[in-house]
Structure formats: C-alpha cells, structure tokens
Amino acid sequence: MNSEFWARVIKDYFEKELPHTIKREYVIPLENPINRSITLTGGRRTGKTFEIYNIIKKILKNNKKEQTLYINFERSDILPTIEDLNTIKKIYFEIVPENKKTWFFLDEIQNVKNWENFVRQCLDENINIFLTGSSSKLLSKEIATSMRGRNLTYSIYPFSFKEYLNAKEIQTKKYYSTKEINKIKKALQEYLLYGGYPETIIYPEQKEKLLIEILNTTIYKDVAEREKIRNIKALKLTMNALINSTEFSTHKYYNFLKTQGIKLSKNTIYNYIEYLKDANIIYTNHKNEHSYKKAEQSIPKIYLIDNGILTINNIEDKGRLLENMIFIELKRRNHKISYYKTQTEEIDFVIQKGKKITELIQSSISIEQLNTKEREIKALIKASKELKCNKLTIINLNQEETIKEQGKTIKVKPAWKWLLEE
C-alpha cells in the first residue's frame, strides 16, 4: 500500500469517534515502565478490539487522540507487509511530529509477516505498543524468539458472569435482597446456555446466528486458511466430535473414522486438535500426574471457549454446561488446572500453584439427592487424603452449606455466588 493510503487511514482514525464499549475487569497498564509491548490474545470475537478501545479511552482522559494510533490488520482492503508497518510509522510522525508520548495499537498483528522486528524497533524508540492476535501459538513463538521476552501477555475471554451482569445493568454488591438474588439466578440460566460473547449480549435477538458465524469463521479462517488445510470435511468432523465429547481419545476417534471409510492419520488428528486449541476455541484438560509426560499422555477432557458454542450444537446437558462454565472461569482467573482420578472416583478440577495443590472442586448441578451428595463427598475426601489438600468445594446451581465429615470441611457454593467471588 502506498503512503497516501496509509496517511488516509491514520487521519480517518483521528477523526472517527471511538465506538461505545462495555467496561471490563481486566487491569492492563496504559504505559509499560519496563519497555515491553503488551499483547492481548484470545479467540475470535472475545472482545480484544473493544478492550483496546477501552484502553485508548483511558489514555484520552489525559492525552490527545493524535498521540494514539489504532490499525486493524484484518481489514479486507489490505494485505499488510513489514514495509507497510515502516511506512505507517514514517507517515504518522510526519503528520504528528511533536508527540513526546505515543501509543500504537496493532490489531490482529499475526497477519503481518516479521512484525516482531518492527515492534522491537518501536520499543527502542520508546513508543508504547499494544498488540492483539487470535493465534496464541504464533504470537507466543515469535514473542519468545525474536522479541526475546520483551512482552507482557493478557488472555481475553468472553464476558465473565460479573461482566455479563454489568452489561445487563444488573448491579453486583456485597449484600442482596431475595428479589435481587432471583434476578441474578435468572441471568445465570441465560449465561449458562448462551455464554458471554460480547456481541451476543449486545444483540441478544441475533445470538444464535452470531454464535454459528463465530464458530464457522474460526474453523474456516483461523484454522483451515491459516494452516492451509484442504480437507475441510475432516476438520469439521473432528470439531464436531470434540464438541460432543467430554473426554477425547484420539485412538478411539481414529478407529471410528476407519469404520466410516474416512482416511485420516493419527498425526493429522493431533494436528487438528492443536490448531483448534491455538485458535482458542477448544481447551484440553489433562489428568493430574507427578510426571509431565504421563499427564500429557492421559486422555484429555474437552472444554469450549464459551457455553454458547455448546448450545448451538444441541448440547443440552446442564451438568456439562455448568462444568464448562466453571473451567473457563478458572482459566480466566489464571489457575493451573487438571483433573484427578482415584480408582473409583473423579475430581473435576484440581487447582495447583507451583507444585502445591491448593483446591479440589467438584461440579454438580444439584446435590439434593442423597446418593449424589454422598458420591461427591466421598470423592473429595478420598482425593483430599491422596493429594494432601484440605480446601474442598462443590459448585452447584442452588444449594449453599458447609459439610464437615471425617475431619474435612467441604464448602458447597451456588454457582452465581462463586462466579462473583473476587
């Protein structure tokens, strides 16, 4: 693209009003005193761009808009190159030559080959750099090598339940009336089904159509196009199998494909799963083991970035939806997560800090039935002794109580209250 084109893009940004945004809970520094770029990674349409707009709005409270520059490198009218990045910087400082403090926001930067060289140069010139990207692997690999660690990364997820309530103008506070609790519980039922993609909350009547579009664009653009996959049918079949699995055995899936007359190697299946993980649409959770190798070889449990993706694929099991919602919230809180199996029971979530296991969590829609309650208690107590962890929690939809048994204390928490914990 020529200089005139980029000059117009820059001046259009200066003149254009920033769109309306919803405040989120991320605490991202406006300036980085340790001379590092800041990267926001996350799945498609999780709100990375709008979080960038939130950051720009904060900057504009004490600075002029001309001190900031936002460029979206996924716009349809450009095929950006490293030369374009250098041209943008040159033109920007021709238009605004006297800026002492400058912020560049480069959206979907992975679309520009060798972008990291440009970013390093900007950092050397004391320009504050913010990047976004929907490919975790691509960004992290380049950051770790060419950027030599000169970066801080923040993962952006769909709205948390607290952010969802804020978007719905439902206040969160320390104490609630019965009416307020019922309002929050009603909101949770909707959140449990359709999740927290920002657009589905802003345009609720279009939510199913939006969710289908997000899933399809992720498969076709973020996976098939990026990884140059020709066998789209096999990729979609694998994605469908993952959505419909709570645990996923590549070996069993490979054998299933053989019975259907579909030729797909195990390596290709493993690659598809890695590509989908890289696009931040699925996550795998492995068994808690002393050995990293053993953990990675264990059959993974499968979770989706947002419950809405499960719902549009006709997953109606509320137990699955609750467990998926809890997993994503634990990811959002930056916990290291695994699952655990005794000989007869399973613990849904093992939370670990370093080598120390800090909490065991069971997900259960309800523990009103005595056999369900006894099963969850038995599993937690057995695992508590084996893993030497005394913080035990059951998250369910409605009940709240404290259970004391065999010298152990188990906190039973309603999901809405656990989701709103600090």
Concatenated DSSP letters of 76-116: TT----HHHHHHHHHHHHHHSTT-SS-EEEEETGGGSTTHH
Burial, 197: exposed, middle or buried (Cβ in 10 Å; 0-12, 13-18, 19+)?
buried
Region 236-259 average pLDDT: 96
Of residues 98 and 202, more confidently modeled: 202
> What was the pLDDT predicted at 144?
62
Alpha-carbon 244 to chain mean position:
20
Question: Does residue 187 register a pLDDT over 90?
Answer: yes
Say how far apart CA 229 and CA 190 lie, in whole Å: 35
Say how far apart CA 81 and CA 93 lie, in whole Å: 19
Percent of the chain with pLDDT over 90: 78
Question: Does residue 170 register a pLDDT over 70?
Answer: yes
Cβ within 8 Å of residue 91, ≥6 positions away: 3, 6, 7, 10
> What was the pLDDT predicted at 94?
95
CATH: 3.40.50.300, 3.40.50.150, 2.70.210.12, 3.30.750.24. Which one for 3-155?
A: 3.40.50.300
The three-class DSSP label of residue 211 is: helix
Say how far apart CA 137 and CA 155 lie, in whole Å: 13
Region 236-257 average pLDDT: 96
Question: Does residue 234 register a pLDDT over 70?
Answer: yes
Q: Which two tokens stand for residue 83?
A: 């030369």
Q: Which two tokens stand for residue 134?
A: 């929907």
Region 268-297 average pLDDT: 92
**CA nearest 169: which of 184, 191, 189, 179?**
184
> What was the pLDDT predicted at 408?
97
Instruction: With both helix axes pointing from N to C terminus, report the angle between 115-124 and 136-144 in degrees, rounded to the nearest 10.
Output: 50
Strand partners, 304: 282
Please state which of the ranges 26-35, 97-106, 251-260 shows the lowest mean pLDDT.
26-35
Which residues make up the CATH 3.40.50.300 domain(s) of the chain? Answer: 3-155
Percent of the chain with pLDDT over 70: 97
Contact 54, 156 (CB under 8 A): no
**CA nearest 409: which of 392, 397, 385, 389?**
392
> What was the pLDDT predicted at 90?
95
Of residues 35 and 389, more confidently modeled: 389
pLDDT band at residue 140, thresholds of 50, 70 and 90? low
Averaged pLDDT score across all residues of the chain: 93
Say how far apart CA 346 and CA 296 lie, in whole Å: 18
Q: pTM higher than 0.85, yes or no? A: yes
The three-class DSSP label of residue 41 is: strand
User: Would the CA dihedral through 156, 162, 164, 169 be positive or negative?
Assistant: negative
Burial 4-36, CB ≥16 within 10 A → b, else e: eebbebbeebeeeebeebbebebebeeebeeeb
The three-class DSSP label of residue 43 is: coil
Residue pLDDT, tens place only, 351-402: 999 989 999 999 999 999 999 999 999 999 999 999 999 999 999 999 999 9
> What was the pLDDT predicted at 111?
86
Question: Does residue 143 register a pLDDT over 80?
Answer: no
Question: Does residue 74 register a pLDDT over 90?
Answer: no
Residue pLDDT, tens place only, 300-352: 999 999 999 999 999 999 999 999 999 999 999 999 999 999 888 899 999 99
Say how far apart CA 192 and CA 283 lie, in whole Å: 18
Question: Does residue 180 register a pLDDT over 70?
Answer: yes
Amino acid at 215: L
